[in-house]
Amino acid sequence: MTVAPDIDPLSLVLAPPKDETPEAREARLLKEREAKKRSDMIDLELKRDQQDKKSKPVKILLLGQSESGKSTTLKNFQLINSPKAFRSERSSWRAVVHLNVVRSVRLILHALGEAEASSASSVPPGPDEPVYPEISSELRTLKMRLSPLQQVEEALLAKLTPGAAFKDRLYAQVDVDEPLTNGPESTRGGNPAAEVAVQSGAPWKGAFNRLIANARGSVDGPEVEAQDSREARQLLQACSEDVIRLWSDPTVKEVLKVHRLRLEDMAGFFLDSIERVTDLSYEPTDDDILKARLKTLGVSEHHFSLKAGNMIPQKWVVFDVGGARSLRAAWVPYFDDMNAIIFLAPLSCFDQVLAEDETVNRLEDSILLWKAVVSNPLLKDTSLILFLNKIDILKAKLASGQKFNEFVVSYGDKPNDFENTSQYMKKKFTMIAKQHSAEPRGFYTYFTSVTDAQSTADILGSVRDIIVRSNLTRSQLV
C-alpha cells in the first residue's frame, strides 16, 4: 500500500515559482496585497448589507387635519434628504402652481358673480346679508375675458391623469371633493372652492416626467413639452395681465372683503407673483414647491437614507396621509409599529371652519384629533412630536386685527398677540397630552412654519436626533 504524501495540492499550485527573482517576488506580493484588500472590501460591503437588511427602518407617520401641512413637511424631508429627486420634479409642480392660480381666479370670479346677482336682485339685502359694491361694466368685461382659464384647468387636469378617457380620468385618480360627471365645471358640482387632489399611490409625477421624456426623444435634449400643456401655459400667460388687473382692482378687494375671503391666507396662493409664475420660461423655485397645494388622498410612503452624527446611514420611511375627515379611517392600520408621529396643528386656523364640514371650527377639530391620537392605546409607546404650524399666518392674522378670543372664548382678555396666543395653545395641547395619555410620556413641541425651508431644516434636524436617541434608548431597554 502506498501512502499519499502530506502535501496540499492547492498550496502546490499557489506556491511561488522556484526560480522567482526578487523583483518578480515584490510584484507578486503587491498583487496579492491588492487582491486581499479587494476581498476585504467585498466582505465589509456584504456585512453592511446584511446589517442593513436586519436593521428595521425608522418609521414616521405624519398626522393632522387637511391643510395642516403634512405633505409640505414631507416635501421638506425630500428637499433635505433627496434634493436631486425633489428638484427633478419641478415641471410636475409647475402644473400644480398653475392649477392653484386658476383656483384663486375661479374663487374671485365666483364672488363677483354673487355680487352681480345681488345687485341685480329686486329684493334689498336683509340685515345679515352681505352688501356688495356695484360691479362696473369694465369689471364684467374682465370677468368674461378670463373665462378661457377653464380650458387651462382642463388641460392641466388631463396632464395629471394621462391615459384615461376624459370622462374617466378625473374619476380615476383626481378627486375634487364632489362626485364627478364630465368637465371641470360639473366635476366641481358648482362648488367654486373645490380643489384638486391626487391619490397618493397615483404616479402623477411619473406621468409628467414620462410625457417630457417622450417628447424629448432623448433624455439629454432640450425639454419639449406635450402640445396640450404648452397651449395651457400660453393661454395662462395670455391671461396674466388680466389676472393682475383683477387682483389689484379695488372693487374686487371690496367684494372679497364682503365675501370674507382672504385669498392671501389660503393654500396655494400665487396671485402676488402672477407675472413670474405665468412666464413661459417659469421654473418653480424650492419655495414655490413648498407653497403649491395638492390635496392628498390615501396614504403614501417615502423612503430615505438618513445619517445622524457619525452613525452609518439608516433607512427611514415617512408616511403621508390624507387629513380630510372621510380619509381618517385609513390611518389606523399605520399606528402599529410606528417609531414616531409628527402631529401638525395649524394654529392660524382659529377663525376657519373645515372645508368638509362648515359647522366645525378647524382649531377645535385639531384639538379633538390630538386627543384621539394621544389616547390611542396603539400609540402609547410611540414618540409624539407636535408641530404647532402656520405660525407665519397666525402672526399676520393677529397683526391685521383678527381677534383670537372671538373664536377661542376661553382665551379671555389676554393680549391679542403671537407670544400669548401661541403659549396659550401650547399649554392646551400639553394639558391634553398629560390628561389623555395612558402613562406619563414626554413629547416635543415646535412652533413651525413649514413653508420656510431653512427653519424647517433646523427643526427636522433636531426631530431626527430625538427619534434616533429614543430608538437607541428603546433598543437598550428591550
Ligand X SMILES: Nc1nc2c(ncn2[C@@H]2O[C@H](COP(=O)(O)OP(=O)(O)OP(=O)(O)O)[C@@H](O)[C@H]2O)c(=O)[nH]1
> What does 302 interact with, of Mg ion, ligand X, none (CB < 5 to 8 A by kind)?
none
The single-letter code of the amino acid at 196 is: V
Q: How far is the CB of 76 from ligand X (least distance, A)?
A: 10
Q: Is 322 in the site for ligand X (CB under 6 A)?
A: yes
Residue 70 found at the interface with ligand X (CB under 6 A): yes
State yes or no: residue 302 binds ligand X (CB under 6 A).
no
- By CB under 6 A, name the one of 349, 386, 451, 464 that touches ligand X: 451
CB–CB of 389/425 below 8 Å? no
Q: Please, which residue, 70 or 169, has the CB nearer to Mg ion?
A: 70
Binding region for GTP:
290-296, 389-392
CA dihedral 281, 285, 287, 292 (to 10 degrees): 50
* DSSP assignments along 428-464, one per residue: HHHHHHHHH-SS---EEEEE--TT-HHHHHHHHHHHH
| Least distance (Å) between residue 323 CB and ligand X | 3
Q: Applying CB under 6 A, which of residues 64, 139, 152, 433 lies at the interface with ligand X?
A: 64
Amino acid at 66: S
- For Mg ion, the binding residues in 16-75 under the rule CB under 5 A are 70-71
Instruction: Report which DSSP code applies to 284.
Output: -
Query: Among residues 58, 59, 61, 69, which is the contact residue for ligand X, using CB under 6 A?
Result: 69
> Should residue 392 be labelled a site residue for ligand X when binding is judged by CB under 6 A?
yes
CA-CA distance, 367 to 425, in Å (whole number)?
10
Q: In one letter, which amino acid is 41?
A: M
Report phi then psi at 468, rounded to 5. -60, -45
In the list Mg ion, ligand X, none, the entry touching 324 (Cβ below 5 to 8 angstroms by class) is ligand X
Tracing cell 388687473 back to the chain, one arrives at: 245
Using the rule CB under 6 A, which residue among 60, 194, 268, 300 binds ligand X?
268
CB closer to ligand X out of 142 and 197: 197
Q: Which stretch binds ligand X (CB under 6 A): 43-51, 102-110, 385-393, 411-419?
A: 385-393
Task: Choose the contact partner of 114 out of Mg ion, ligand X, none; CB within 5 to 8 A by kind.
Answer: none
- Alpha helices (H) along 146-226: 149-160, 166-172, 183-187, 204-216
- CA proximity to 293, closest of 85, 7, 69: 69
Residue ranges in 296-315 that form contacts with Mg ion under rule CB under 5 A: 296
End-to-end Cα spacing for the chain: 63
Return d(Cα 164, Cα 137) in angstroms, integer.
41
Dihedral in degrees, nearest 10, Cα atoms 41, 43, 45, 46 = 160
Stretch that binds ligand X, among 5-13, 133-141, 248-256, 293-301 (CB under 6 A): 293-301
Stretch (H or E) spanning 65: none
- Which residues from 67-106 bind Mg ion, rule CB under 5 A? 70-71
- Residues contributing to the site for ligand X (CB under 6 A): 64, 66-72, 267-268, 290-291, 293, 295-296, 322-324, 389-390, 392-393, 449-451
- Residues contributing to the site for Mg ion (CB under 5 A): 70-71, 296
